[in-house]
Amino acid sequence: MHISPTITVSRGRLGLATAQVLEQVRAIGVAHRDEIASSTGLSLATVGRAVGQLTEAGLLRECPRKGRARGLGRPGIPVEVDPDAYVTIGIHVGRRIATVALGDLTGRVVAQDAVRRSAGAVPDLAGISRRAAALLAGLPGRAPVSTGVVGPWRELGLAPSNVGAELGELTGLPVRTGDHIAAVAATEFLHRRHGTPGVTLYVYARDTVGFAVAVDKGTQTEVSRVGSLSHYPTGSHVSCWCGRTGCLEVTAGDDAVLRAARDACLLEDWSATGDIPSITRLYAAAASEPAVLELLRRRAGLLGRVAASVRDIVAPDRVVLVGQAFTGSSAVLGDITDAFAEASALGEVPVSFTRFGAGIQAVAACTVALGPVYDDPLGVVPGRRPHPSAALAD
C-alpha cells in the first residue's frame, strides 16, 4: 500500500471555514475577527459564525483583557486557541525508544513519557496506549481528540496504515500517520511561520538520516519529497546492514558515533561494561576529552558536507538542520556550517539549526496529531465524533 509522505502544514484558503479560522488564530495568537477575515478572505459574518461555533465547542476562547490593545473600534472581543480543553496524543516510534506525548491544540507538548523498546521488535501499541491513558489521568478535565503517530516506517519495516488502524482501535480516536522526518520538518515550519516563502530544505540526522522539503505554494504549504540518506556513501570502513560499507547512518548516526567512541576506548569506564552509553554523556565528555571532541568534529564535518550535497541537488531557498546529531553538541555547530559552506557549489544560502532539541520527537508527533483537528475542527470534538474515546479509559 502506498502512503503519501506529504504533510499539509498550512491549508491557507482551502478547506472548511472553521478550519481556516482556527488555523489563522493559531498563527496570529490572539486574533480579532476582522484580522481573521482579512487574512482568510472570508466575510466578517462567516468568521463571526465560525468563531462562535469554535468557542462553543471549546476550541477557541475569548481574551477580553487583550481586547483594547490593538485600538478602538474593533468589533468584538479577540480570541485565541483554547489550550486547556482538549489534548492530542502524539506517538513517535523510534528504533530504540518510543515517545508518548500529549499536546494542546497549539501544538505545545504538555506531558510526555518515553518507553524503551528493543530494536527490530514490533511496537507494543497496547502498552503505548496505556502510557497515553496514564498521562491523560494526570491532566484531568482534558479530553483527547486525535492521535498522531510518526516513525521512520521504511527503516522499521512497518506499514503506517496498519499502525494507524491498530491505534485507532485502541484509542477510539481519529489517527493521522506521518513519516518522522516530514513530521519534524512540519513542526519546524509551523513554529517559524514568517519568512518561509519558496522552498525550505530540512536535513535530519539522529539515528536515521534523511531530508524533507517544504514547498510554500501560496495557498497551501506541504512538506513532501522525503528522501532517505541512510545509505549515502561516505567512504568510511563501517559495515552496513545493507551489505555495503561506509553508509552514512552506520557512520554518523548517534548510535554509530557512540559505538565508535566505545570501540576506541575513548572513555575507560565505558569499555569495561560494554554497554552503549547515552549520547549526552559523550557530548559532555567532549568538554574535557580532546579525542571525543575530535570524533564529534569529524562527524560534524561529514554531516555538513552531506547537507551541502543535498542542498546542491534540491537548490532550496534556505536550509534548516534538525535532529540531535546536528543540534546535540553546541561545541561543533561551527564545524557543521563551515563544512557546509566549503562543500556547497551553489554559494551562500541561509542555514539555521532547529530550535527544538531533545524534545523534537514528541513535538513532531503532536504536530501530526493536529491534522484531523485542523482539517475539521468541529468533527473531532467529543459528542460529535462517531466513536467516543471510551477505549482509552480501560
In angstroms, give the least distance from the CB of 150 to Zn ion: 23
In angstroms, give the least distance from the CB of 248 to Zn ion: 8
Q: Which is nearer to Zn ion, 247 or 363 (CB)?
A: 247
DSSP 377: G
Bridge partners, residue 93, by sequence: 98
Could you tell me which stretch among 66-74, 189-197, 233-241, 350-358 binds Zn ion (CB under 5 A)? 233-241
12 vs 357: CA distance, rounded Å? 28
65 vs 288: CA distance, rounded Å? 51
Footprint (CB under 5 A) of Zn ion, residues 16-45: none
Q: Which is nearer to Zn ion, 259 or 385 (CB)?
A: 259
In angstroms, give the least distance from the CB of 228 to Zn ion: 10
Number of residues that bind Zn ion (CB under 5 A): 5
Q: Which is nearer to Zn ion, 247 or 370 (CB)?
A: 247
DSSP 105: T
Which grid coordinates are listed for 320?
Answer: 534548516
Q: Is 209 in the site for Zn ion (CB under 5 A)?
A: no
Q: Where would I find the H helices in 175-289?
A: 180-190, 248-252, 254-263, 268-273, 279-285
Q: Which amino acid is located at 230 in the chain?
A: S
42 vs 21: CA distance, rounded Å? 9
Q: Given CA atoms 76, 80, 82, 88 in this order, what sign does their dihedral have?
A: positive
In angstroms, give the least distance from the CB of 226 to Zn ion: 18
Q: Is 306 in the site for Zn ion (CB under 5 A)?
A: no
In angstroms, give the least distance from the CB of 208 to Zn ion: 12
Q: Is 247 in the site for Zn ion (CB under 5 A)?
A: yes
In angstroms, give the least distance from the CB of 230 to Zn ion: 6
Could you tell me which stretch among 167-175, 239-247, 298-306, 341-349 binds Zn ion (CB under 5 A)? 239-247
Which among 72, 319, 117, 341 is positioned nearest to 205, based on CA atoms? 319
DSSP 217: -
In angstroms, give the least distance from the CB of 242 to Zn ion: 3
Q: Is 233 in the site for Zn ion (CB under 5 A)?
A: no
Q: Which is nearer to Zn ion, 233 or 357 (CB)?
A: 233
In angstroms, give the least distance from the CB of 97 to Zn ion: 22
Q: Report phi then psi at 211, rounded to 5.
A: -145, 160
Which among 107, 89, 200 is positioned nearest to 150, based on CA atoms? 89
Could you tell me which stretch among 242-250, 275-283, 290-298, 347-355 binds Zn ion (CB under 5 A)? 242-250
Could you tell me which stretch among 200-208, 243-251, 284-292, 353-361 binds Zn ion (CB under 5 A)? 243-251
Q: Measured at the alpha carbon of residue 233, what is the angle toward residues 232 and 236, in degrees to the nearest 5?
A: 130
390 vs 134: CA distance, rounded Å? 14
Q: Which is nearer to Zn ion, 244 or 281 (CB)?
A: 244
Q: Where are the beta strands (DSSP E) in 290-369?
A: 318-322, 351-353
Could you tell me which stretch among 118-126, 153-161, 232-240, 381-389 binds Zn ion (CB under 5 A)? 232-240
Could you tell me which stretch among 38-46, 157-165, 190-198, 231-239 binds Zn ion (CB under 5 A)? 231-239
From the list 61, 130, 231, 305, which residue makes contact with Zn ion (rule: CB under 5 A)? 231
Q: Report phi then psi at 282, rounded to 5.
A: -65, -45
Q: Is 240 in the site for Zn ion (CB under 5 A)?
A: yes
Which among 199, 146, 133, 184 is positioned nearest to 324, based on CA atoms? 184
In angstroms, give the least distance from the CB of 114 to Zn ion: 27
DSSP 122: P
Three-state SS for 209? Answer: strand
Residues 266-273: contacts with CB under 8 Å, at least 24 apart: 266/291, 266/292, 266/295, 267/292
From the list 122, 165, 242, 287, which residue makes contact with Zn ion (rule: CB under 5 A)? 242
Q: Which is nearer to Zn ion, 45 or 242 (CB)?
A: 242
**Which positions lie near Zn ion, rule CB under 5 A?**
231, 240, 242, 244, 247
